């Protein structure tokens, strides 16, 4: 299963998520410069359990390296597809989790998930001399948080059936639940010897669940709101789904469309889809400048058609998000 996108809209620019993606990509580009010496590079900056548990090996590394590699390992990757898979998952799930925690706490959350996922791997492989690298454990924590915070969000998923691509929307709790179950199967089965730190994935996911719960007990400091003032998105989604409802025996339909305060001031254009059974037709809507909360747009001829009467209209009530 390959996630394509989710339908959970974030109202802030995920600056930390983008920063982490950039840091991982830069680290990957730096790795490419290592050439034949990359194996030594992984031993120095990767997570090698034996570096901490076997004195004969430990003495070859400084105290600084012992500490630094606990962090650096989660920014290194074993190949392009390893990097792409991790960054794609972070892109899909990271923005919403960052919106929940706030940028500063999300950074701490991400690092903690990476550290604790590494501890899971170390605890189950204390004498391993194989370097462990990758952001998978930290991103598993992000996925665990998403599982708890947005279980009803829907994930558009590509399911390859032989050579036929099948796209299906799956609730987040099912998609992530299947993903977590597969990590257990691989950790306990034949995948255990595949060179992948499955238990780090499991540890990261569980850490994400726990930290969401603990975060609710930590008092707010106001930092999140101050940063949100600068990272708040100035535009609402270009495409919106309108749930249109009629009143009794009324040809007209009524719905709500969201715009930002900036869009209300300057005007904007939106694409809306109005589900009718299995059909989801698209319409273009022009919103004029100077709109206010509660104003209505009239879309002529887009209402219901009752017997013997002309088709009614649709009225969209303006809802302004992030109103100034």
Q: What is the rounded distance in angstroms from the CA atom of residue 2 to the CA atom of residue 155?
A: 10
Q: What is the rounded distance in angstroms from the CA atom of residue 253 to the CA atom of residue 305?
A: 11
pLDDT at 280 over 70: no
What does the pLDDT read at residue 208?
95
Q: What is the rounded distance in angstroms from the CA atom of residue 197 to the CA atom of residue 184?
A: 11
Report which of 116, 123, 93, 97 is spatially closest to residue 206, judged by C-alpha positions. 116
Q: What is the rounded distance in angstroms from the CA atom of residue 127 to the CA atom of residue 48?
A: 9
Give the total number of structural domains in the chain.
2
Pair (33, 170) in one structural domain: yes
pLDDT at 241 over 90: no
Pair (76, 181) in one structural domain: yes
Chain-centroid distance, C-alpha 48: 29
Cβ atoms < 10 Å from Cβ of 92: 20
pLDDT at 23 over 50: yes
What does the pLDDT read at residue 276?
61
Pair (298, 217) in one structural domain: no
Whole-number mean pLDDT of the chain? Answer: 87
| β partners of residue 257 | 318
Pair (196, 260) in one structural domain: no
What does the pLDDT read at residue 215?
92
Give the highest mean pLDDT range of 39-43, 84-88, 166-170: 84-88
CATH code for the domain of 158: 1.20.1540.10
Tokens of 211: 């930290």
Q: Which of 169, 204, 230 is the last residue of a domain?
A: 230
pLDDT digits (tens, 9 = 90+) for 58-95: 898 999 999 999 999 999 998 899 999 999 999 999 99
Pair (45, 160) in one structural domain: yes
Note down the domain range covering 46: 2-230
Q: Which of 230, 254, 282 is the last residue of a domain?
A: 230
What proportion of the chain, given as a percentage, has pLDDT over 70?
94
Q: What angle do CA 162, 91, 111 make, to 5 degrees?
A: 120
CATH code for the domain of 241: 2.60.260.20
pLDDT digits (tens, 9 = 90+) for 174-218: 999 999 999 988 887 765 555 678 889 999 999 999 999 999 898
Pair (138, 70) in one structural domain: yes
- For residue 277, what pLDDT band results from cuts at 50, 70 and 90? low
Pair (91, 141) in one structural domain: yes
The answer to whether 37 touches 6, Cβ cutoff 8 Å, is no
What proportion of the chain, given as a percentage, has pLDDT over 90?
46
What does the pLDDT read at residue 324?
44
Pair (166, 294) in one structural domain: no
Q: Which of 230, 257, 289 is the last residue of a domain?
A: 230
Pair (252, 317) in one structural domain: yes
Pair (180, 259) in one structural domain: no
Q: What is the pTM of this model?
A: 0.77
Which residues neighbour 6 within 8 Å (Cβ) at sequence distance 6 or greater? 92, 93, 96, 150, 153, 154, 155, 156, 172
Pair (192, 300) in one structural domain: no
**Burial bucket for residue 7 (CB in 10 Å: 0-12, 13-18, 19+):** middle
pLDDT at 307 over 80: no
- For residue 172, what pLDDT band results from cuts at 50, 70 and 90? very high
Pair (247, 221) in one structural domain: no
pLDDT at 246 over 50: yes
């Amino acid at each position: 299963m390959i996630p394509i996108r989710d339908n959970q809209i974030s109202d802030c620019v995920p600056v930390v998520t983008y920063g982490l993606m950039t840091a991982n990509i830069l680290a990957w580009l730096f790795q490419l410069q290592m050439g034949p010496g990359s194996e030594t590079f992984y031993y120095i900056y990767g997570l090698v359990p034996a570096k901490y548990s076997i004195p004969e090996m430990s003495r070859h590394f400084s105290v600084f390296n012992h500490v630094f590699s606990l962090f650096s390992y989660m920014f290194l990757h074993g190949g392009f597809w390893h990097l792409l898979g991790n960054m794609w998952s972070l892109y899909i799930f990271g923005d919403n989790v960052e919106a929940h925690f706030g940028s500063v706490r999300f950074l701490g959350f991400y690092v903690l998930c990476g550290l604790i996922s590494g501890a899971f791997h170390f605890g189950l492989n204390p004498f391993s001399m194989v370097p462990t690298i990758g952001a998978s454990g930290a991103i598993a924590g992000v996925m665990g948080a998403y599982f708890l915070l947005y279980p009803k969000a829907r994930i558009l998923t590509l399911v390859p059936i032989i050579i036929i691509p099948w796209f299906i929307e799956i609730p987040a709790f099912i998609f992530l639940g299947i993903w977590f179950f597969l990590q257990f199967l691989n950790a306990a089965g034949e995948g255990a010897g595949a060179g992948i730190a499955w238990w780090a994935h499991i540890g990261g996911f569980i850490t994400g669940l726990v930290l969401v719960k603990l975060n609710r007990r930590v008092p707010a400091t106001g930092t999140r709101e101050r940063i949100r003032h600068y990272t708040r998105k100035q535009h609402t989604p270009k495409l919106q789904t309108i749930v249109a409802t009629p009143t009794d025996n009324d040809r007209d339909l009524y719905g709500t469309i969201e715009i930002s305060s900036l869009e209300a001031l300057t005007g904007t254009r939106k694409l809306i889809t109005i589900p009718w059974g299995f059909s989801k037709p698209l319409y273009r809507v022009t919103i004029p400048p100077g709109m206010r909360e509660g104003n209505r747009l009239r879309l002529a001829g887009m209402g219901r058609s009752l017997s013997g009467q002309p088709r009614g209209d649709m009225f969209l009530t303006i809802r302004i998000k992030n109103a100034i």
